[in-house]
Structure 1
Amino acid sequence: MKIAILGAGALGCAIGAALTEGGNEVWLLNRSAAHVEAMRRDGLQVDDTNGSRRVKVHATTSAAEAGIVDLVVVLVKSFDTDAAMRGALELVGPETLVLSLQNGLGHEDVLADVVGRERVLAGKTYVGGVMRNPGHIESGVAGKATHIGELDGRITSRVNAIAETFNASGLDTTVSANIVGTMWDKLLVNVATGALTGTTGLTYGQLYDEPLLKAAALAAVAEAMAVAEAAGVALSAVDPERAWTLAGEGLSSAFKTSMLQSLEKGSITEIDFINGAVVRWGQRHGVPTPVNATLVACIKGIERAMGDRQHTTSCMEPE
């Protein structure tokens, strides 16, 4: 299968490397010239439980270079979805499918507006990745599940074929007839750890050593579960402890959430699509979400301070 990873950062490269080693033609698209050049020159260096190796990959900043593919896996940051997909239409042919594996809720509607709802699939993955340097990632694939499905819940041959390709490449993938519930299941995991590590700067290992932070995480997840219940969403778990456990399962103590990685790079986060989504859905269905609203406010405050520092620094630079 010819596959493009749109937004081949740490997670995209982890998935792309597995699919490449599984015998697929995979194109890693990233707007970072340094990252792409490093992969072109030296291959993608992958560190995981099996050690360290270099994987020869196709990497580019240009969708036109990759050309039409069978499948586009979308892994750009939530707020970049529309612009990224519109800038990569050279990937899309008559039979191309577009699969979102992004964190949070709402990306499928954005993609449908760009390429048509009939070709959009939804999914969630628990695979992890950390960018060490340009062209160098730490990958957490082993034992981490991926779920994909049609937006209307049908089990189709096209989604089964993608799952078979992923599974043959070592990506533990199942087809879901309740992809909305699956998306909420993953949202609960992000709610459990993302904002808390973003506000504290802690790795997974440090986070799980702090009982007070666990209590806060469980409270945030409990709010999200109450919202899902009010919205009629069928979840796979009934205990907030499950999301807390699943979030760190199989990851090293040094792993960092994507939200913390974004803040450390000086980038804004996906908070509006994660805890912020819980708050919006809560308002819609009359469910109070004070813990999630507080976490959103804290991350927004950190982003504001970060932006102010960057603005001050740029103003002080000599012309």
Structure 2
Amino acid sequence: MKIVVLGAGALGCALGSALTEGGHEVWLVNRGQAHVNAMKQHGLKVRENGVDRFVKVHAATTCAEVDLGTGPVDLVIVLVKSFHTREAIESAKPVFGKDTVVLSLQNGLGHEDILAEVVGQARVLAGKTYAGGVLIGTGHIIAGTQGKDTHIGELNGQVTERVTRIAEVFNAAGLLTHVSENIMGTMWDKLLVNVATGALSGITRLTYGELYQLPEIEATAISAVAEAMAVAKAKGIALSVTDPKQPWVKAAAGLPDEFKASMLQSLEKGSITEIDFVNGAVVRWGAKLGVPTPVNLALVACMKGIERGLCHVSAKKDNA
């Protein structure tokens, strides 16, 4: 299968390296020139269980650099930050063939609607992954894929040949993947995990090893998840989760102590986060459905304050 990972940061590289080692032609597209150059020159350096290895990968800064000599792309995996979704999928159109499928594995809610507006709903699959990754240097990641579930599905809940084939490809590459007949429930299940740890990791600047040592943080996380579960219930979403502590526990399962949530990684790079698509989505839906979400609102407010601070720092640097 010919695959483009659109937004090949830490997670995209973790998934892409596994699929590459599974025998597929995978193109890792990342706008960072230094990161791409390192992968082109040396291969992608992947650390698992404390051991580094090099994986020879295809890397590019834009889809225009993807070699179409072997034909158009079969699958585009979208992993860009939520606020870059439309721009990114527009830029990927040159690699599309008539049967190219688009799979979003992004955090949060709402990406599928944006993708469908650009490429048509018939091409779009939804999915969520509990795999993770940490970028620890140019061309160097920690992969957190072992034993971490990925769920994919058609937007209408049907189990089709194409979604089954993609799941088979992922599983053969060591990525534990399931086809979901309730993809909206699956997406909300994953949202609960992001709600549990993303904002709290970003606000406190703590790795998972540190985050999970503080009972006050655990209590706050569980309260935020409980609010999100109440919103999902009011919205008629069928969750697999029954206890708000479950997403908190699941978030860290199998990940090393030095792992950092994606929101913290964004802040450390001086970037805004996906808070609007995670805790912010809970707050918005809660307001629409009349479900109080004070904990999530407080987390959103704190993250917005941190992001505003980053803007001030950036402006000062630009004016220096």
- Check whether TM > 0.5: yes
Q: Deviations over 1:138-161 (max 9, x none)?
A: 001111000000000001010000
Unpaired segments ≥5 residues, structure 1: none
Q: For residue 193 of structure 1, what is the aligned residue in structure 2?
A: 197
Once the two structures are TM-superposed, the CA of residue 65 in structure 1 deviates from its matched residue by 2.5
Q: Aligned partners of 2:95, 2:261: CA distance in 1, in Å? A: 29
**Counterpart of 1:80 in 2: which secondary structure?**
helix
**Counterpart of 2:225 in 1: which secondary structure?**
helix
Q: Deviations over 1:84-128 (max 9, x none)?
A: 110111121100000000000000000001100000000000111
1:72 and 1:91 in contact (8 A); partners too = no
Q: For residue 158 of structure 1, what is the aligned residue in structure 2?
A: 162
Correspondence 1:204 to 2:208: yes
Q: Aligned partners of 1:192, 1:186: CA distance in 2, in Å? A: 10
Q: Aligned partners of 2:203, 2:28: CA distance in 1, in Å? A: 31
1:6 and 1:72 in contact (8 A); partners too = yes
Give 1:207's aligned amino acid: L
**Counterpart of 1:96 in 2: which secondary structure?**
strand
Q: For residue 130 of structure 1, what is the aligned residue in structure 2?
A: 134
Once the two structures are TM-superposed, the CA of residue 282 in structure 1 deviates from its matched residue by 0.4
Q: For residue 20 of structure 2, what is the aligned residue in structure 1?
A: 20
Identity of aligned residues (%): 64
Q: Deviations over 1:251-308 (max 9, x none)?
A: 0111000000000110000000000000011011110100000100000000001111
Q: For residue 42 of structure 2, what is the aligned residue in structure 1?
A: 42
**Counterpart of 1:184 in 2: which secondary structure?**
helix
**Counterpart of 2:99 in 1: which secondary structure?**
coil
Correspondence 1:62 to 2:66: no
Q: Deviations over 1:170-209 (max 9, x none)?
A: 0000000000000000000000000011111111011100
Q: Aligned partners of 2:178, 2:129: CA distance in 1, in Å? A: 10
Q: Aligned partners of 1:168, 1:197: CA distance in 2, in Å? A: 33
Q: Aligned partners of 1:75, 1:313: CA distance in 2, in Å? A: 29
The normalised TM-score by structure 1 is 0.98
**Counterpart of 2:152 in 1: which secondary structure?**
strand
Runs of 4+ in 1 over 4 A off after TM superposition: none
Once the two structures are TM-superposed, the CA of residue 64 in structure 1 deviates from its matched residue by 2.3
Once the two structures are TM-superposed, the CA of residue 50 in structure 1 deviates from its matched residue by 6.8
Give 1:15's aligned amino acid: L
Give 1:289's aligned amino acid: T
Aligned residues: 316
**Which of 246, 263, 270 is 2:267 aligned to?**
263
1:149 and 1:177 in contact (8 A); partners too = yes
Correspondence 1:180 to 2:168: no
Q: For residue 292 of structure 2, what is the aligned residue in structure 1?
A: 288
Q: Aligned partners of 1:150, 1:88: CA distance in 2, in Å? A: 21
The normalised TM-score by structure 2 is 0.98
Give 2:8's aligned amino acid: A
Q: Aligned partners of 2:143, 2:273: CA distance in 1, in Å? A: 21
Q: For residue 167 of structure 1, what is the aligned residue in structure 2?
A: 171
RMSD of Structure 2 on Structure 1 (CA):
0.7
Q: For residue 6 of structure 2, what is the aligned residue in structure 1?
A: 6
Q: Aligned partners of 1:52, 1:220: CA distance in 2, in Å? A: 36
**Counterpart of 1:70 in 2: which secondary structure?**
strand
Q: Deviations over 1:40-99 (max 9, x none)?
A: 000000000272100000001121232320000000000000001101111211000000
